[in-house]
Amino acid sequence: MYSTLITTLNEGIFTITIHRPEKLNALNKNVFDDLDKAMNEVYSNTEIKSVIITGSGTKSFVAGADIAEFSSFNKEQAIQLSQRGQQVFFKIENCPKPVVAAVNGFALGGGCELAMACHFRICSENAKFGQPEVNLGLIPGYGGTQRLTQLVGKAKSMELQMTAQIIDANEALQLKLVNHVTAVENLLSKTTEILSVINSKAPVAISKIIDCINTAVVSDTSSVLGYEKEAHHFGDCFNTEDMKEGTAAFLEKRKANFTGK
Ligand code: COA
């Protein structure tokens, strides 16, 4: 049913595993199409009470958007890519059923953005988080400029996005980016344990909590503008030499040499 996801349904918990292990589960067009479909299934299937999103293997949750796929895009294609990613992630964020990210390794770029679109995050000790897009001459395009700021505050969000620093699980916990850190082998059992508690509560009340809390952080016009601005600024970066250099350097496995053009 899905070419890039493995899904299971157990006692009301629907687990979506992003499965592109050879590319560290990077998000390409097919993953977005599959995630969109999987979320439609979550909205419509009454047997699903809550959702876990995780990555295949123990090395990576999601290592970002697929850099090879977008490296030759023009500005318009880049804006569309960003808007498509934002739309799928809004579907996750606004889901009336709880969606929790079980972060099992690298959550970089689009991976960190996917985790942040979930209602909360639990990670294993080997998890690593970051928005390293500036290394590619880019900015986050799937809501990262907005959601990281909501979660860790303006100053830390500025520092993390401008330095491209990768942080470990304990720092993510300190910054309140994740709610719990577990041993690698306990990640899914801990996540399931929390969701089992939530699944025993009244589903209508749970959906109202999600809606009210989302409204507390994303309803004002400035945050809508923030997402629009992000998509257009993401597109603007595709008109720069630095973006071409940054993505080429990643694909050629070398350090980028930025010139400011
Ligand atoms: N897009 C496309 N391919 C990716 C990818 C991404 N975001 N992240 C990893 N891959 C691919 C690599 O190109 C490599 O493919 P190959 O074997 O065909 O060469 C494979 O996944 C394994 O990655 P590799 O870099 O060899 O693993 P590593 O352990 O040395 O490094 C990372 C792991 C996560 C540090 C490194 O892959 C990385 O920096 N990825 C990009 C992170 C990023 O900038 N994300 C934001 C994108 S907007």
Q: What's the confidence (pLDDT) of residue 220?
A: 59
Within 6 Å (CB) of ligand 1, which residues are found?
A: 23-24, 26, 63-68, 106, 108-110, 132-133, 135-136
Helix, strand, or coil here: 140?
Answer: coil
Q: What's the confidence (pLDDT) of residue 223?
A: 75
Of 106, 118, 121, 12, nearest to 55 by C-alpha is 106
Cα-to-centroid distance, 1 and ligand 1 (Å): 26
Catalytic position from the list 41, 113, 125, 159: 113
Q: How far apart are CA 146 and CA 184, in angstroms?
A: 29
98-107 pLDDT, tens digit per residue, is 999 999 999 9
Cα-to-centroid distance, 24 and ligand 1 (Å): 7
113 annotated active-site: yes
Q: What's the confidence (pLDDT) of residue 18?
A: 98
pTM of the model: 0.98
Angle at 122 between CA 161 and CA 206, to 5 degrees: 110
25-45 pLDDT, tens digit per residue, is 999 999 999 999 999 999 999
Helix, strand, or coil here: 53?
Answer: strand
Catalytic position from the list 93, 125, 133, 241: 133
**Region for residue 176 given its phi and psi (left: phi exceeds 0; alpha: psi -120 to 50; beta: otherwise):** left
Kind plus residue range of the DSSP H or E element containing 122: strand 120-124
Q: How far apart are CA 27 and CA 114, in angstroms?
A: 10
Q: Whose CA is nearest to atom 21 of ligand 1?
A: 23
Q: What's the confidence (pLDDT) of residue 221?
A: 63
Cα-to-centroid distance, 79 and ligand 1 (Å): 23
- Weakly modelled stretches of the chain, pLDDT under 50: none
Angle at 65 between CA 106 and CA 36, to 5 degrees: 105
Q: How far apart are CA 223 and CA 229, in angstroms?
A: 10
Cα-to-centroid distance, 145 and ligand 1 (Å): 21
Angle at 118 between CA 116 and CA 120, to 5 degrees: 85
**Which residues lie below 8 Å from residue 70, measured CB to CB, with a gap of 6+?**
77, 78, 81, 247
